[in-house]
Structure 1
């Protein structure tokens, strides 16, 4: 694992409490990670596997140039969602389609083939088979990836190295030496000081502190729950009350393993210390998956007699008792239950007889959210809806699953499916070989076969998603069924949707006149009905048909689409309209204006993490470069585009512009020659996603004052040589072998290059070299 001076990359969650003890475990885990590619931390619930994994990852993150990435699996109830969840954690915010019928795991693995990263899979025990398949697929395909898993059971993958995480050591008796602090005692003292700043381990209470830690078997979660009570109770009082919980638990079920009894007793005691209202909130909040905000808590858990301020007080009480975790998510605070505590809450909810009521209210809450997102999509809150719906994916899945598994509720799933269409680019993580939106749509359509407007809408939404993944035959069948149903039940809205999507299918076939005719009819109907969403999407499709089909094209439709977007302050919609207008400008021969427009579009796409849109913008930038004779840059941009498509698995997304893509590639190959084209294409494809944007926007990072952009003037001959090898994708080890120098010497050169260029990553070096070692205005023909 080569080390560089780049800033740590990844998504490790911020940890608000200090890490106590585990020095030997940290050392052992770090050593094992250097010798194996799959390390699984095993141990009982509450023993601290996740916390240890996060600390290990933090300690080694600089050894992984492509980052350390944390994937929380506690919200997943179905292994089908595992590949998409991992892709989302890695920042792949666009669709993750399989290519050529490949399995989802295979598609994910291929997107990591050239990465050097650490992947942390947390809480695998309920998805062992799926996690094992994913680990095997990734490790078999991507040699630079290592996996650190936490699980109560081994994954069972060949080559897996196991490390058992034991409870914190507790001495049999207290030592008189206050300078000797056992890890369990240190953890109790550290957490107690958070709630009782004056708490300290003293000669007077040391025996009691050690006895309490021993009573808790050194299990970190149990210690943390008990420490909360030291705000109002003495150590002796806490121990006495815990003993009562132990006696009750052991009497109730003597077959429970001792350490599980310990954790259960600690949770039982926390429950007993809650007020009746807090207990109900604990139980009802267990229906949430992946966290919730105050608004959702009010809608799902609130009672008519509980005011908003009182609910906030109850939530704060559970936070104070370490039952709920409070997390800052941008402008909103979210709450989350640890998995052990959530499982306890689920048991309470089932015993109360209110489980179906709670889950139904949970479903209704998120059904309302997706309906509101649809109704207000073309508006000023597109970024907020995007952020919120990404956060709520686990809750949306739970709501859909309840509707499809509970008798009599399937039609609500059908209604939710119909609301996905406006923000469909967020609903295409791969499940069971099909995008997730279609996975839910097909299940809902099968579960609710009766004729209804909801079914008609779900049919054309499913058709749209099928078109998005290039399944044109399936989309055609769905549209045909929708058309027949819409006519039989006089559903003009769905009939209009069939017109629009039939026009989009004609656009993909390059039948531009038919596309304009069908979409134009749909546009008139949307306007007559006052359907803003439909009007905007029809304008966009009509603008694309005009831009790609007319010779010369007319910009009026694209200008109208842009004006509508700006009128309603819809920034994502604006980014799409700018793309439309850029293509029109390029077709009219104004490549300079086209470049300005497409870069404006790209900057907006960046705000929304719209990988699909970024890929489409890069494609047009390549066309512009070719039109201006910058052939090497064009080939690099096509390579960068291919890298994005490969990451999200969707070259079929460019089918409506496939002809223009092929023309561009053929022209660049002729201008550069096959070998030079392939070299430039590969260099662009190797760019990391963040550096693709820098490269495409030509946002050159800071150089030393007075330095020229010429690499030979900025770097020494040896540094220039090494920078070139980095651009070719070589690791430090490969550079050392190629140049016959010591690995440490190679590392020193890389650090000097980073410092001279003002960069923080190898990818930035590669991007800079690609731009500067070959002239930009290469207009020669080989």
Structure 2
């Protein structure tokens, strides 16, 4: 028998029989008072209070990983609702309780209940709580065994009681309402992102108002008074917060380091998070003084099977699906003797076993579900948690086997795209998009480990993906790494890699490097007798010659490629050679010849039905029609190129088609829209490491010059900058809207003189003519009877107006537009 002492109670004379006092005379509020402010969490507090007000919610469990701020949030909520509980609000910390009886005793003590001998603590608690309208806040419930059963018994017997608990895992109790506490917000609203001056997205000012940055600044000021963030610092602070997963504990530990470190130094050190996230207040619980200790508290509660699964799943970067987990998870049964060799044969988990481990780790907040929409469920780890898991994996002795299974799974996924097309191709691209971080992780680990398997097969399997998505930097890095590392690759594989390295060097704008790689490919093709590869190498060498203005050399290479392709009956190679010969004719200003060749290659692409080929052929034929004055057919083909580029997921084709439509827009009365579209595609090119080639600038150069003249430099810059902020889908929608304008409102705004198209003065036209003929500045000065310094100034002006950075590219533009005549 027990009582909760009321505010005024008469003493009971000894030895009178004990009696119960059902309700105290007045409510009590027993809540800790934190010494630091709680930043943010207004939305979460509001939602939790709404849940507590519901009659059907008696047990509300705040869950989340260690350091997410569950306790502070529970205290705030309890303080805000204290007036709604007539018999009091009580906070009880169960961090030191493991068994249900210990927890019950702690609750009884926290309620200040007098126990009566001979009565079980649970009965004492039920007796005291019966008829009491109160809220009990139970903190750190995760380590109390069978805590859910304990609370169910209590709540069933005491209908006026409510429990608000914090736990790193779900209790799995009847009537439990789970509220997952997320990390702090780092995503400002779209309204906050909109600049009042320009109307376009500007993230820097809005970041200041996010909860994560506000907490970072608040805690930084406690160690560095007067701390403030300028626009550059805000970006660094946001990166720091993201590095610690926007967990309040991580942010506080990171901010404390500013006593001795600058923002940039702190960010650099956070490449390895756990060693730097230490040094919490000495009065804090040990588990909250370092990020490692906070995570270890959760991991220590795992079973052996869960711990092995946790460490093995940490090999995934950027999340994983159930299928991927099944491929990587394995149990190690111990040594197996095979003759004189002792080995360990891991046993793959069954799908049911894998989902059981994953479900348990999700419930314990060591994994989280990343998507709730249609499609396969993906799971992920916070970066801080994953770093701890990787340390566990290294200590377990299972790291090599786990990483090998991860590499094998990545290679299997990449190889699925080899023969796919249509919907299957798009699905494959989307699958690899989701696993891009996993691909990066497995390639990095394998390349850093001299004993790891060769990465050649994975790199080769990824080539179509990298090309489709224009991941030029990734492709270049890993191709050159594989070529350098896997010296024992067979000649055919090495040929594929050097050819790929040349293609991506070309996309990156490094034509000399590309030519060297393709020269090696030609030698290898001849060495192994692969005539198709030889034809491909000739074609690719022709492309580099085109880019450097060697039209004669390019034509020779394309013709050699065409002859080989025809001799072996390869329609794809024939189509490519015809395409490039048509392109050469277009650059030479031979429009009729260009259209004839390009119509042949386009027809072959349509016959083959490959989206990527159709997109490329339609795009270049559209330019040819535009040059010949057929705007309607040009627009139709640019739209076809865009459509098939989207169908195939080929980013380069989409960008090229948008720029083609921008060229049309600039010539038909939509200069601001055209400049905006060019700004959008320029941003995409910069992000993917895919600059404009010199030959392609031959098409865009006049359009850009015309847009600058029409809009003025300020107007062009404003439209171009606005375009850079456009997401690609929005840019595509604007390009489509441009193409859909009625034909009768289009007007041709292009000047008739090629020199006028670029805004060249007569003297600059003379300079360009001599420059395109290969004359040096000294020779030009002698021919025109002017000084070399004057020539240099004119050359700089010409390059600027043509939109190129070299004399070779200027010569390409000059030949393309008849400026060298």
| TM interval, short-chain normalised | 0.5 to 0.7
Quickly say closer, same or farther: Cα 1:607–1:283, change in 2 above 3 A.
same
Aligned-partner Cα distance in 1 for 2:680–2:712: 18
Q: Which residue of 2 aligns with 1:622?
A: 662
Quickly say closer, same or farther: Cα 1:577–1:551, change in 2 above 3 A.
closer
TM alignment of 1:537-556, pairs within 5 A: 541=580, 544-545=583-584, 548=587, 550-553=590-593
Preserved contact between residue 605 and residue 614 of structure 1 (Cα < 8 Å): yes
CA RMSD of aligned residues (A): 5.2
Q: Which residue of 1 aligns with 2:773?
A: none
Q: Which residue of 2 aligns with 1:370?
A: 414
Q: Which residue of 1 aligns with 2:481?
A: 443
1:26 corresponds, among 40, 55, 58, to 40
Task: Specify the SS of the correspondent of 1:24.
Answer: coil
- Bigger radius of gyration, 1 or 2? 2
Aligned-partner Cα distance in 1 for 2:532–2:494: 12
TM alignment of 1:407-418, pairs within 5 A: 407-409=450-452, 412-418=454-460
Aligned-partner Cα distance in 2 for 1:464–1:145: 39
Q: Which residue of 2 aligns with 1:240?
A: none
Quickly say closer, same or farther: Cα 1:313–1:48, change in 2 above 3 A.
closer
Task: Specify the SS of the correspondent of 2:416.
Answer: helix
1:506 corresponds, among 522, 534, 545, to 545
Task: Specify the SS of the correspondent of 1:381.
Answer: helix
Deviation at 1:697, TM superposition (A): 2.3
Quickly say closer, same or farther: Cα 1:418–1:525, change in 2 above 3 A.
farther
Task: Specify the SS of the correspondent of 1:445.
Answer: helix
Task: Specify the SS of the correspondent of 1:589.
Answer: coil
Q: Which residue of 1 aligns with 2:394?
A: 350
Aligned-partner Cα distance in 1 for 2:230–2:652: 23
Task: Specify the SS of the correspondent of 1:689.
Answer: coil
Quickly say closer, same or farther: Cα 1:481–1:409, change in 2 above 3 A.
farther
TM alignment of 1:158-557, pairs within 5 A: 260-261=292-293, 263-272=295-304, 276=305, 278-301=306-329, 306-328=349-371, 330-373=374-417, 375-376=418-419, 379-409=422-452, 412-425=454-467, 435-450=473-488, 452-453=490-491, 454-492=493-531, 494-509=533-548, 515=554, 518-519=557-558, 522=561, 541=580, 544-545=583-584, 548=587, 550-553=590-593
Preserved contact between residue 291 and residue 334 of structure 1 (Cα < 8 Å): yes
Q: For structure 2, which runs of at least 5 residues remain unmatched after alignment?
A: 1-33, 44-63, 71-179, 217-227, 245-249, 268-275, 331-345, 741-821
Higher relative contact order (CA 8 A, sep 6+): 1
Deviation at 1:467, TM superposition (A): 0.7
Aligned-partner Cα distance in 2 for 1:346–1:643: 40
Preserved contact between residue 403 and residue 409 of structure 1 (Cα < 8 Å): yes
Task: Specify the SS of the correspondent of 1:335.
Answer: strand
Preserved contact between residue 558 and residue 577 of structure 2 (Cα < 8 Å): yes
Preserved contact between residue 476 and residue 505 of structure 2 (Cα < 8 Å): yes
Aligned-partner Cα distance in 2 for 1:346–1:158: 26
TM alignment of 1:37-76, pairs within 5 A: 46-48=66-68, 55-57=184-186, 62-65=191-194
**1:149 matches 2:253:** no
Task: Specify the SS of the correspondent of 1:47.
Answer: coil
Aligned-partner Cα distance in 2 for 1:285–1:623: 50
Quickly say closer, same or farther: Cα 1:381–1:512, change in 2 above 3 A.
farther
Preserved contact between residue 326 and residue 348 of structure 2 (Cα < 8 Å): no
Aligned-partner Cα distance in 2 for 1:413–1:570: 29
Deviation at 1:407, TM superposition (A): 2.1
Q: For structure 1, which runs of at least 5 residues remain unmatched after alignment?
A: 1-20, 30-43, 68-110, 126-135, 173-213, 220-256, 702-782
Deviation at 1:533, TM superposition (A): 7.8
Which whole-Å deviations, capped at 9, do the CAs of 1:130-188 have from their partners, x for residues lacking one?
xxxxxx999549999976724343584469999x999999xx9xxxxxxxxxxxxxxxx
Q: Which residue of 2 aligns with 1:683?
A: 719
Aligned-partner Cα distance in 2 for 1:527–1:364: 39
Deviation at 1:424, TM superposition (A): 2.9
Which whole-Å deviations, capped at 9, do the CAs of 1:277-301 have from their partners, x for residues lacking one?
x554333222211112233233333
Aligned-partner Cα distance in 2 for 1:364–1:113: 42
Deviation at 1:521, TM superposition (A): 5.1
Preserved contact between residue 636 and residue 681 of structure 1 (Cα < 8 Å): no
Aligned-partner Cα distance in 1 for 2:675–2:405: 48
Q: Which residue of 2 aligns with 1:580?
A: 620
Deviation at 1:25, TM superposition (A): 0.8
Which whole-Å deviations, capped at 9, do the CAs of 1:43-85 have from their partners, x for residues lacking one?
x983128999965445655321279xxxxxxxxxxxxxxxxxx
Deviation at 1:571, TM superposition (A): 4.2
Deviation at 1:389, TM superposition (A): 1.8
Preserved contact between residue 115 and residue 145 of structure 1 (Cα < 8 Å): no
Deviation at 1:322, TM superposition (A): 3.9
Which whole-Å deviations, capped at 9, do the CAs of 1:350-398 have from their partners, x for residues lacking one?
344332122112112212332333x136544332232222221111112
1:655 corresponds, among 694, 701, 715, to 694
TM alignment of 1:80-95, pairs within 5 A: none
Deviation at 1:464, TM superposition (A): 0.9
Deviation at 1:658, TM superposition (A): 1.7
Preserved contact between residue 460 and residue 479 of structure 1 (Cα < 8 Å): yes
Deviation at 1:580, TM superposition (A): 2.9
Q: Which residue of 1 aligns with 2:138?
A: none
Aligned-partner Cα distance in 2 for 1:117–1:572: 40
1:596 corresponds, among 628, 636, 642, to 636
Deviation at 1:468, TM superposition (A): 0.7
How many residue pairs get matched?
516
Preserved contact between residue 460 and residue 496 of structure 2 (Cα < 8 Å): yes
Preserved contact between residue 299 and residue 307 of structure 2 (Cα < 8 Å): no
